[in-house]
Structure formats: C-alpha cells, structure tokens
Amino acid sequence: MLSAGGLNFLVAVDGSPAAHLGFQVVIENLLRHTDKITVAHIFNRAKTYLPYDQHPENLHKIYETQTITLGSRGLLVWQEIDERKTTKEQVVDIAVEN
C-alpha cells in the first residue's frame, strides 16, 4: 500500500518465528525513511495455554520495543478477537483502517 510519503507495510504477528521474520525483513530491508509499518496482533484472552512468548502482553512489549524508534512511522494495533469475524477478516479491516 502506498502512503503519501512512501510505502505502508502491515505485518500481522502471532508469536511464530515466521511472523517475526516477516517483521524483521520489513524493518531491516524494506523500510525507508518515508515508509510506515503497522504491526497487528489479534488475540483471544481465552487462550491461556499459550507459551509465554505468545501471550498478547509479551508480544506487545517485544514489538513496542522494536518500533519505538520509528516514532509516528510505527504503529502497533492489538485487538481482541471479534467472534463475528475470522482472524483474516479482522486483519484485513486493520489494513483498510491504517
């Protein structure tokens, strides 16, 4: 997606190594000073069995720490699952909104 000054990336993260790699590729190789990145996570509080590194609060800390230096070019969107939508639909909604 093209924003006013450059590209606008959306990376959906779930705590998996593949999602984190996608984030790293954007940050290290694709993000230019005119680009923006939105890091999105859809979570379900009922999933209390998830490993520590996949808990929404812990994921948020990880990505907040890594995007804070981007200032207004980095946005974190953490949303609880909307039971009326699939996760994919909710991520698409975030992409449209941002």
pLDDT of residue 3: 52
pLDDT (tens digit, 0 to 9) for every residue of the chain, 98 residues total? 555 578 999 999 999 999 999 999 999 888 788 899 999 999 998 998 999 888 999 999 999 998 998 998 999 999 999 999 999 999 999 999 98
Domain boundaries, the chain: 8-19+26-97
Cα-only R_g, the chain: 13
pLDDT of residue 79: 95
Q: Which residue has the tokens 């993000």?
A: 31
pLDDT of residue 4: 59
pLDDT of residue 1: 55
pLDDT of residue 12: 96
Using alpha carbons, list the distances in angstroms from residue 25 to 9, 31, 79.
11, 9, 23
